Amino acid sequence: MKLKSFKTYLVAILSMCFLFNFIPCYTAKGDTLDPGVNDKIIYLTFDDGPSVLTSEILDILKKYEVKGTFFLIGNQIKGQEKVVKRIHDEGHSIGLHTYTHNYQKIYSSQDRFIAEMLTTQKIINELTGSNTNIIRFPFGSNRKLSENFLNNLHKHNFKVYDWNLFMSDGINCKTPPYKLYREATKSVDSEEPVILLMHCDYTHKNTCIALPEVIKFYKDKGYEFRVIDENTPEHYFPLKKQV
């Protein structure tokens, strides 16, 4: 890896570490996340698929009869088309996570970012017949999403979803399963629905190990498992101030 690329990647990772622990999220004005009779709601979300491990995640979700939301990278779909179709056919939700997941490229301009989302949207539509419009920023929207940027995304009918709880599998795929479990279950006293960030690319075996216990934990606490879709109010980190 070139030094410049490594520095960019390191900055992104350090930013993730900071925002994971200190940055509040914003829900669209006038809305709450899927209000209903049950105020205990969790969204299981998985980034960076599809991969062979995505199939294992799907097996686990099927076993425990819960649904998840998968934010997919466009250039990883080739060779994993059956996985994408399975996500759709089994009633899970599919979101967009750019085409390349290359930090320097996707954040070089708003046009580049939107173009990557549109490319991935088209690929998924051709496979599933579904025209998904939910998106997640790689490394989160913090310090990237401005009001102007958000308006441009809305012109393409995109809706943005960050998270308010996470596993550190995206920072270190070798994080022990017991630690991933502890991270994923530490905010159960929150009054707002839980949007849990996890990852499902080929390196995240420990996520597969931790996931069943995470599901059991939230089931025992009486949580309802839901998927993010176009009717879910947006949920993103504070907007970047424009100068």
Residue 223 CA to residue 41 CA, distance in Å, equals 5
Catalytic hit among 47, 48, 162, 201: 47
The C-alpha atoms of residue 141 and residue 186 are separated, in whole angstroms, by: 23
220 a catalytic residue: no
All residues at 6 or more sequence positions from 137 whose CB lies less than 8 Å from its CB, including other chains: 144, 145, 160, 162
Catalytic status, residue 204: no
Contact by Cβ (8 Å): 164, 141: no
d(CA 86, CA 181): 26
Q: Which pair of tokens denotes residue 127?
A: 């496979």
Radius of gyration of the chain measured on its C-alpha atoms? 17
Active-site residue, selected from the candidate residues 199, 201, 204, 235 = 199
Give the residue numbers marked as catalytic.
47, 199
